[in-house]
A and B are shown apart, each in its own frame.
Chain A
Amino acid sequence: MFQQPISRGRVFQLGGALAAAGALAAAGHTDAIASMLSDEVTVTFWTPGGSARYCQNFSNIARDFHKLHPNITIGKTTCGTGQQDFLTVLLAKIAAGNPPDATIYWDSPVTLGVRGAVMQLDPMMAVSQYSQAKYWPPSALASCQFRGKTWGLPLTGSPYAIWFNQDLFAKKGIPTSREKFPKTWDELRKLSKEFTYWKGDTLVSAGFLPMNPPELPATIFVWSALNGGTIYDADHQKYTIDSDQNVAMMQYMLDWLNEEYKGNRTAVDTSANWTGYADAKGRAPAFQAGKLAMLEQGFWFVGDVLSAGVTFKHYEVAQYPVGPGGKKTVSGFWPNWAVIPQGSQHPQEGFKWLDYLAGVGVEKWFAVTPDLPTNRNVPASLVPAVAVQQRGQAYAANLTRFFHHQLDISIPMWNSPIQGFAFDQINKAVNNIMHKVAKPKDALAAAQRASQNELQRVLHSA
């Protein structure tokens, strides 16, 4: 007699499973099929860009994560979107319903959250291991929050400080310690003159350039707070760009430009690249070339301050000096945020990955790229390897402690639903003032009007 290898019941079971799989495949849920069959999930993860080493590092971190969560595989990190603008591609994917499960984002998550482009994270944070609200510095977490809801995680939050060339200071007999650095704007302005030198219409060297791009759109919040003002009041959802303190701040900066820089911002800009990074023209940064004695930069600058071609060995960092209208020093920060796009196929698994990154994985991230971790589960004793190589363990630890303190005294930033629009208006106003196209009061009033109107429009439709 023949043996029946498969029973009739088994045939019906297999047929039903195949039909269900076929239906799911037709609907595009191939991962659901895999999950149905084996409970394994592959999470797609993006970053807006970065060096090959930075992006590859996420794969290394993902391997460690996989050991703890064998059913979750983090797919190969999509490192930027090639020649297409990252935000354009991300928004298109969200609108089309096939976004990545999780992504790093280099701009305010509030702008995405208020428009329904990313998921609210509070429920997932509440039951997470590392990402509960109590584990984040308040101002860092506030950068992701709007109307009481959290739209992202501030995985790293590199704070700002004033970096100065100690070798240049020493040559002029100026004290080089952090503690002796100017504490007020008047002291900074007086010190800056020591280093500023013109040859005809060419600025050969400078001390400190007020309202200097490209960090300006972020740091204007800091300068405003240093003078007792604000740019954006998140509690009342109101811009305060043209407040008396801000008008006074810009008048002060304009007076500074007139006194030390011949009142000619165009001549300053054409003379050199007054930043810490090479510009689009390939001009070497003036700070590393020893032409600029002081500049404001974020913690990440520790990886680039002694880059190739640098003309000095010793640098130091100091707190921001206080303006005439201010009472205490503050700082600001520029995070790497992480978000879960709306329409993510595996939001829970994606959030588990981000939670791991926040509390554990960021240590490996920090070892490669000096972005200061913000989560309180990450040991504060971590120091950037590049600073240890440059200046030794003791200095690197001291530097990192300083920046942790800068993060603690940072003001709320990045929490406006119209971040990009407001940045452009403020940038335009500051440029118009510093190039003497408009008076401070008028330029700031124009930025205020435009920003507040746009904010009202977005809040109305939110």
Chain B
Amino acid sequence: MAVMAQPMKRRRWSVMRRREAIAGYLFILPWLIGLIVFTAYPILATVYFSFTDYNIIQPPHWVGLSNYTTMFTADTDFWNGVGNSLYYALISVPLGLAFSLGLALVLNLRARGVGVYRALFYLPALAPSIVATVVFLMLLDPQNGLVNVLLRAVGLPAPGWFEDPSWSKPALIILSLWGAGTAALIFLAGLQEIPQALIEAATIDGAGAWSRFWNVTLPLLSPVVLFNLVMGVIWSFQVFDQAITVGGTTGDPLGSTLMFMVMIYNNAFRYFSMGYASALSVVLVLAILVVTAVIFRTSRLWVFYEGQQRDA
């Protein structure tokens, strides 16, 4: 006998539930105010200022799409900054992931004193970025830096690193590996979540080390890879401290280290063009959003969650 479905009656909240809801909103109110005042409002203000001529001191003056037109058609630094930032992101992110994953695999070994090694490998990530940059400037000094001294000692060519426009970005990318400890710790946590039973089963079935890594460990680690990939992309597009310390505000040598964030800083605080800087910021955010969206969209093909059912 068919049962007629009764339409759901709109239930009125009891006084108790209403009180609980109000209490909940009151508890999150400080955070909500902070979100609106310190995140939402600045974002909306930035979008508004991007359509204005604004020098921080005088009121903004509406100019429509003029800032965006200038950006795409008249500002030679813009395309240089885009190129430099893309180069940096496309190489530093995969390299950083591979490096930190390798580090995590080593730190996951059950060796004596591994706790000490974990702390030591994480410590560089705690150092201020400017300090790390100055240290690398010394290490990579073309004449007297330790790296080139060692390269010359073994008969290899010694590049100009931060003095050579062909080597300055690779040097920045090498510098970015200094902070790999953070991603490595996150990978380590993910590795320790992988059920040992699966690894043992694979071993019993005759899988070698590489086969176990590729077919068991990496797929189960893929959610962590996704997280580190997204964070790495966001961070790489926002590189500033290292770039401005190495290349100054003009991206020396020859504009090769002029990153997008340095351009935003120049326009906002040195050229007094906060409107144009806001437009650059909007473009940067949209670019990061697009890249992140593409990553998430493709993640259904390569990210596997434990217990997830997939069609063959």
B61 touching A88, Cβ below 8 Å: no
Residue A149 interfacial (CB < 8 Å): no
Alpha-carbon gap, A458 to B274, bound state (A): 13
Interface contact A115-B55, CB-CB below 8 Å: yes
- Residue B69 at the chain A interface, CB threshold 8 Å: no
**With known contacts A115-B57, A280-B137, A342-B57, A435–B272 Cβ distance under 8 A:** no
The total of interchain contacts (Cβ-Cβ below 8 angstroms) comes to: 82
B254 near A420: Cβ-Cβ < 8 Å: no
Interface segment, one of A136-144, A229-237, A244-252, A267-275: A267-275
- A-contacting 9-mer, from B16-24, B40-48, B244-252, B291-299: B244-252
Given A280-B134, A431-B252, A461-B61, answer yes or no on A270-B271 (Cβ-Cβ < 8 Å). Answer: no
**Complex: how many Å from CA A134 to CA B45?**
46
Q: Contact: B254 with A431, CB < 8 Å?
A: yes
Contact of B142 among A88, A111, A115, A270 (CB under 8 A): A270
Chain B residues within 8 Å of A454, by CB: 271
Interface string of B48-62 (1 = CB under 8 A from A): 000001011110010
Q: Say what secondary structure dominates the interface of chain A.
A: helix
Assess the A435–B165 pair: CB atoms within 8 A. yes
User: Is A283 at the interface (CB under 8 A from chain B)?
Assistant: yes
Cβ contacts under 8 Å, B266 to chain A: 420, 424
**Taking CB as reference atom, which chain A residue is nearest B55?**
A115
Interface size on A, residues (CB 8 A): 39
Task: Encode A180-214 as 1/0 by CB contact (under 8 A) with B.
Answer: 00000000000000000000001000000000000
A95 to B, closest residue via Cβ = B56
Give chain B residues whose Cβ lies under 8 Å from the Cβ of A421.
270-271
CB of A219 closer than 8 Å to a CB of B: no
Per-position contact with A for B62-77: 1 when CB-CB < 8 Å, else 0? 0000000000001010
A266 CA / B160 CA spacing, docked (Å): 8
Taking residues whose C-beta sits less than 8 angstroms from the other chain, chain B's interface range is 20 to 34
CA distance A428 to B248 in the complex (A): 12
Q: Is A437 an interface residue (CB 8 A)?
A: yes
Report B-chain residues with C-beta under 8 Å of the C-beta of A92. 56
Name the interface residues of B97-153: CB closer than 8 Å to any CB of A: 134, 137-138, 141-145
In the complex, whether A16 has a CB less than 8 A from a CB of chain B is: no
Q: How many Å from the CB of B170 to the closest CB on chain A?
A: 15
The docked-state distance in angstroms from the alpha carbon of A457 to that of B69 is: 14
Asked whether, in the complex, the Cβ of A437 is within 8 Å of the Cβ of B55, the reply is: no
CB–CB A282/B250 < 8 A: no
Closest residue on chain A to residue B249 by CB atoms: A424
| Complex Cα–Cα for A427 and B258 (A) | 13
Docked-complex contact B271 and A432, CB < 8 angstroms: no
A413-428: CB near B (< 8 Å → 1, else 0) gives 0000010110010011
Q: Which residue of A lies closest to B275 (CB)?
A: A461
| A94 to B249 Cα, complex, angstroms | 24
> Chain B contacts of A424 at CB under 8 A?
249-250, 266, 270
B127 CB → nearest A CB, Å: 14
Chain A CB within 8 A of B255 CB: yes
A85 adjacent to B269 (CB under 8 Å): yes
Q: Are B134 and A270 in contact (CB under 8 A)?
A: no
Q: Bound complex: CA of A247 vs CA of B58, how far in Å?
A: 38
Pair B74/A453 contact, Cβ less than 8 Å: yes
Mask, A76-110, CB within 8 Å of B = 1, is 00000000010110011011000000000000000
Give the docked Cα–Cα distance between A418 and B145 (Å). Answer: 38
Question: Which residue of chain B is the closest to A214 with respect to CB atoms?
Answer: B248
| CA distance in complex: A109, B18 (Å) | 60
Q: Please report the C-alpha to C-alpha distance between residue A92 and residue B55 in the assembled complex, in whole angstroms.
A: 11
Counting chain A CB atoms within 10 Å of each CB, the highest count among B137, B163, B252, B266 belongs to B163
Contact A446 B271 (CB under 8 A): no
Residues of B contacting A202 with CB < 8 Å? 143
Take A202-B143, A266-B160 as given contacts and tell me if A116 and B270 are in contact as well, using a CB distance cutoff of 8 Å: no
Is B253 a contact of A435 with CB atoms below 8 Å? Answer: yes
Chain A residues within 8 Å of B250, by CB: 424, 427-428, 431
For this complex, 9 residue pairs linking A to B, each with C-beta atoms less than 8 Å apart, are A91-B269, A94-B56, A117-B57, A280-B137, A424-B249, A424-B270, A432-B254, A435-B165, A435-B254
Given contacts A270-B142, A424-B249, A453-B74, 4 further A-B pairs with CB under 8 A are A91-B57, A115-B57, A283-B144, A342-B57
Q: Which of A's residues lie within 8 Å of B, judged by CB?
A: 85, 87-88, 91-92, 94-95, 111, 115-117, 202, 266, 269-272, 280-283, 342, 418, 420-421, 424, 427-428, 431-432, 435, 437, 446, 450, 453-454, 457-458, 461
The list of the 10 closest CB pairs from A to B, nearest first, reads A270-B142, A420-B270, A270-B163, A281-B137, A421-B271, A117-B57, A270-B160, A115-B55, A269-B163, A281-B141
